[in-house]
Amino acid sequence: MTDLVAASGEATGESTTSTQAMPPIDGARPVEWAPREPAPKRHRTGLWVGVGVGALLLAAGAASTILIAPGTTIAGVPVGGLTPAAAAETVEAHLAGLQISLTDSAEDLVVTGSELGASIDAKALADAAYAEHPMWNVGAWLPEPIAADISLDPEVAHDTLRGLVPASYEDAIDAKVSFDAGSASYTTTPAVAGTGIDLDALTGAITEAMSDGAGTLEFSAAPAEAPAAVSDEEAAAVADQLNGMLAEIGFYVGDERTVPVSPAVAATWLDVVDTDGELTISADASAIQETVDTLASKVDRAPVDAKTIVNGSGTVLQELTAGVTGRTLGDTSTLASDFAAQLENGTAVQPVEVEEVAFKTTTLLRQIDVNLSTQVVSAIENGVVVDSWYVSSGVDGFNTHPGTYPIGWKTSSQNMGNRDLTKAPHYFQPDVKWVMYFNGDQALHGVYWHSNWGTRMSHGCVGMPEWRAQWLFNWTPQGVGVNVHY
């Protein structure tokens, strides 16, 4: 109302003050204060509508940070707009409920993915899908389909399918390895293939159906060849390994196979075990222990003392007997179990512990004594005369020279002298036996052309009966001292 005025000093806001009459002015009618009209209330509908849309947008924006982008599929299953957890459940449920109609069977049969033990790593795939294609990233919308690996539990799948279509199943026979006593070696028995439903092909069909977004598929239940879990090649490889072990099996001291084990005995220790189609070698420690109990008598040995020939200066001229260290068997408390473990790992060489026993060395100082006065040769060992006999040394003009000499060149036979008797030394003696030179061309040797022992007869050599010369030749190595004296 335009003809109403507000009372002086009144606020322009809404008032509840009652109307009062004012005194008349100049006889006019009294002026009344009109009641103040309430101020119109502000309409806030637009504000509330704006707040609602904003909240929805905020909520949608927040949701977009936890959802997978539209158009995303995992293994053919749409998961756009879902959280990773919901996406994983959806994919798993689709796979579990997938229906497979088995054709080529006597009756109509249907089996589900769950009944075949079908599985997929849905959580990992969903997490990856969200990481690469979040809803908030518009550029990640409508991505390429995400492929997935689907697997069937062989035991569950075959049990289910065998129960539905038993006619399609015939068990395969694994190749085997066994010991043949006749050839003393391990031989094989060939595998025999069986029949069954091809799980690899079935898995591929399920994967393809899932990728196509299908909820059903058909698959032939006709029997397919099912190879044995252990093939001929696998059995042959184990047999070859065992036969290689038989060639070297035994208990070793160092590099020496001190106690070999025969193939027949080894075969009582070893067994080839087929565990779910994998061949392994098993060894019986208790059977091995029976051989371990006999080792001491086969391993222990007394030392063999060494015996050498030396000259007067102690130089070794010849080893008559090689020294051999003795030994006694050491600790065998874990030997059988240790060997069993070795054999199961393919090693047939089992070291044994021994304690060594040192050998002693005996030295024989050998010398030859030639007494020109008595025409006697003596073989002396460690100061003791072993044997002596008469000889024939050089005649006057061809004397055997006194002195101490080492035995030099030796020969079992040679011609001596000169076939041309007109030339020095004016004699020729063929096929002289057991010759040992000690001083130039003077030698100890056998004589077959006379037997006048004890008398000087030679051109400077020391002659003796051939059988004596042979004994002395064998007794005397090069380097033995010869003492020639009167």
Can you tell me the distance from the alpha carbon of 389 to that of 404, in angstroms, rounded to the nearest whole number?
20
Q: Give 35's pLDDT tier (boundaries 50, 70, 90).
A: very low
Beta bridge partners of 428: 417
Residue 186 maps to a domain: no
Q: What is the mean pLDDT of residues 350-358?
A: 97
- Domains of the chain: total: 3
Specify if 310 maps to a domain: no
Tell me, yes or no, whether 353 and 367 share the same domain: no
Write down how long the chain is: 486
What are the two backbone dihedrals, phi and then psi, of residue 360, each rounded to the nearest 5 degrees?
A: -105, 160
For residue 62, being part of any structural domain is answered with yes
The pLDDT value given to residue 61? 62
| Mean pLDDT across 276-295 | 97
8 A C-beta contact, residue 346 and residue 245: yes
Q: What is the mean pLDDT of residues 355-365?
A: 97
Residues 268 and 201 in one domain: no
* Cα dist from 282 to 88, 190, 275, whole Å: 45, 21, 11
Q: What is the pLDDT of residue 406?
A: 98
Residue 94 CA to residue 114 CA, distance in Å, equals 10
pLDDT recorded at residue 398 = 94
Is the pLDDT at 41 greater than 50? The verdict is no
- Whether the pLDDT of residue 481 is over 90: the answer is yes
CB 146 within 8 A of CB 74: yes
Distance CA(2)–CA(9), nearest Å, equals 18
Q: What is the pLDDT of residue 192?
A: 97
- pLDDT at position 159, please? 96
Same domain as 446, residue 422: yes
Regarding predicted confidence, which is higher, 423 or 169?
169
Q: In which region does residue 244 sit, left (phi positive, over 0), alpha (psi from -120 to 50) or beta (all else)?
A: alpha
Cβ–Cβ under 8 Å, residues 67 and 81: yes
User: What pLDDT is stored for residue 222 in this prediction?
Assistant: 94
| Pair 372, 298 in one domain | no
Tokens of 278: 């994998």
The shares of helix, strand and coil residues in the chain, as percent rounded to the nearest 5, are: 25, 35, 40
Determine the pLDDT at residue 417.
85
Same domain (yes/no): 433, 352: no
Claim to verify: residue 89 and residue 212 sit in the same structural domain: yes
Domain that includes residue 427, residue range: 363-485
Q: How many Cα atoms sit within 13 Å of 481 on the Cβ side?
A: 20
- Tell me the average pLDDT across 3-7: 32
pLDDT of res. 217: 96
Domain shared by 352 and 373, yes or no: no
* pLDDT tens per residue across span 190-228: 999 999 999 999 999 999 999 999 999 999 999 999 999
Q: Report, as an integer, the average pLDDT of 149-171.
A: 96
User: Chain-wide mean pLDDT for the chain?
Assistant: 89
> Which amino acid is present at 141?
W
* 5 within some domain: no
- Residue 86 phi, psi dihedral angles, 5° rounding: -65, -35
Would the CA dihedral through 391, 395, 401, 406 be positive or negative? negative
For residues 123 and 72, state if they share a domain: yes
Rounded Cα distance between 416 and 428, Å, is: 6
Where a domain ends, among 227, 246, 276? Answer: 227
pLDDT for position 419 = 83
Asked, as a colleague might, if the bond just before 425 is cis with ω within 30 of 0, I would say: yes
Residue 413 and residue 274 share a domain: no
| Cα 188 from Cα 232, distance rounded (Å) | 8
CATH number at residue 429: 2.40.440.10
Task: Write down the pLDDT at residue 423.
Answer: 84
- Looking at the structure, tell me whether residues 344 and 244 fall in a common domain: yes
Task: Write down the pTM of the prediction.
Answer: 0.59
pLDDT attached to residue 378: 98
Backbone phi and psi for residue 100, each to the nearest 5 degrees, phi listed first: -110, 115
Are 376 and 331 in a shared domain? no
Mean per-residue pLDDT, 376-396: 98
Q: pLDDT at residue 44 above 70?
A: no
Residue 16 has pLDDT above 60, yes or no: no
* Of 413, 377, 398, nearest in space to 457 by CA: 398
Within 261-360, strands assigned E span 270-275, 278-283, 306-310, 316-321, 326-329, 349-351, 354-357
Q: How far apart are CA 412 and CA 429, in angstroms?
A: 15
Q: What is the pLDDT of residues 89-141, one digit of tens each?
A: 999 999 999 999 999 988 889 999 999 999 999 999 999 999 999 999 999 99
User: In this predicted model, what pLDDT tens digit does every residue of 287-322 receive, in sequence order?
Assistant: 999 999 999 999 999 999 999 999 999 999 999 999
What amino acid is encoded at 229 in this protein? A
| Domain contains 8 | no
Poorest-pLDDT segment among 21-30, 280-289, 398-407: 21-30
Percent of the chain with pLDDT over 90: 83
Q: What is the pLDDT of residues 47-95, one digit of tens each?
A: 434 444 444 444 456 678 899 999 999 999 999 999 999 999 999 999 9
- Final residue of a domain: which of 209, 227, 245? 227
Is 57 part of any domain?
yes
Residue 325 maps to a domain: yes
Burial (CB count <10 Å: 0-12, 13-18, 19+), residue 174: buried
Range with the poorest average pLDDT among 27-31, 246-250, 424-428: 27-31
What phi and psi, each to the nearest 5 degrees, are found at residue 397?
90, -20
Considering just the CA atoms, what is the radius of gyration of the chain in Å? 57
pLDDT tens, position by position, 328-351 = 999 999 999 999 999 999 999 999
- Is 58 contained in some domain? yes
pLDDT of 465: 98
Shared-domain flag, residues 95 and 149: yes
Specify the CATH number for the domain of residue 241: 3.10.20
In 99-174, beta strands by DSSP E: 99-103, 109-112, 118-120, 150-152
pLDDT band, residue 427 (cuts 50/70/90): confident
Compute the average pLDDT of residues 436-459.
Answer: 97
3-class state of residue 349 by DSSP? strand
